[in-house]
Structure formats: C-alpha cells, structure tokens
Amino acid sequence: MCNDSCRADRNNQLTSSFLKREKKTDNITSPYIAIFDGQEIVRFPEGITEIAECGFLGAPLKTVILPDTVTSIGRAAFLGSAIESVILPDGLQTIDDYAFAACLHLRKIFLPQGLEHIGTGAFLGCARLETAVLPDSAKFIGKEAFALCRNLKM
C-alpha cells in the first residue's frame, strides 16, 4: 500500500509528495511545511488542500490540526499513528480508505458537515474510539469504516 517515499524525513520535514496546495506554483517545502512541536502536534498551514497517501504512516503525533483548505485526506494518511485528537476542517469532503485505521489512541472524531465520503476501513481498529459524530452530508460510508472500534458509541 505505502512505500518509503510516503514518510517524513529524519528531521520530520515534509516534501511536496505529502501535501498539495491550491496554487501549483507555490513552493510547498519552504515555508509551507507542517510545524512539529516535540513530534506531538502537527499544524498544517493554510492553503494545503490534500494530505497525501501514507503521509504520516505510524507517525508519533498526538494532535493534528488541519486548516479549512484541506478537502481530502488520502489513503492510509495517518494509519497506525499515535493520534489522540484530530481537528478536521469544515471544507473536508473525503476521508480515503484506511486514513485513520489502527490509530489506537484516537478517542473522539467529529466529522464536519460537508463530508461526503468515508472510505473503506477509514477508522478500522481504532480500539479506543468512543465517539464518532456522522454528518448528514455523508453520501458514502465504506465497508468496515468503523469495524473493530469496540468502545464506539454513535
């Protein structure tokens, strides 16, 4: 599913393969990189529109804050990461397959109005997930999107 090019480098710097901006002419690596704070919090800058496939696979992040410009979270983007909380933007339309699967510390997820697509296994195996609020706008919820979330109350 993912290859080594889908990860942050040794200094936790991101390259253009992780993030896409609204304007293709902008240099995404500087100053448009995510800001890591002790490898626990990542805040993405405004203008980022997509989190690419496997971008933060297994990352030691506790909190993720996405700007309102993000419309899509790619396949396995945060698979197996240490996320405890994530703030999803109002403009988010797609959470792709396995985007947050096996995030064992994730407890709550508030899915914004306007979200239309929740991919297969998007939250599969998030064992501590207790709360998921689904928006009325959801048109597609993939197979096993919330499977093996044993503490989930919807």
86 φ, ψ (degrees, to nearest 5): -140, 135
Helix (H, G, I), strand (E, B) or coil at 75: coil
pTM above 0.85, yes or no: no
Give how far Cα 107 sits from Cα of 116, 131, 150, Å: 22, 7, 11
Q: Using one digit for the tens of pLDDT, what is the confidence trace for 77-98? A: 999 999 998 989 999 999 999 9
d(CA 45, CA 80): 23
The terminus-to-terminus CA distance of the chain in angstroms comes to 29
The domain containing residue 134 runs over which residues?
1-154
User: Which spans in 2-122 are helix H?
Assistant: none
| pLDDT the model gives residue 2 | 64
Assess whether pLDDT exceeds 80 at residue 19: no
Instruction: Give the CATH number of the domain where residue 42 resides.
Output: 3.80.10.10
* Average of per-residue pLDDT values in the chain: 80
Q: How many domains does the chain have?
A: 1
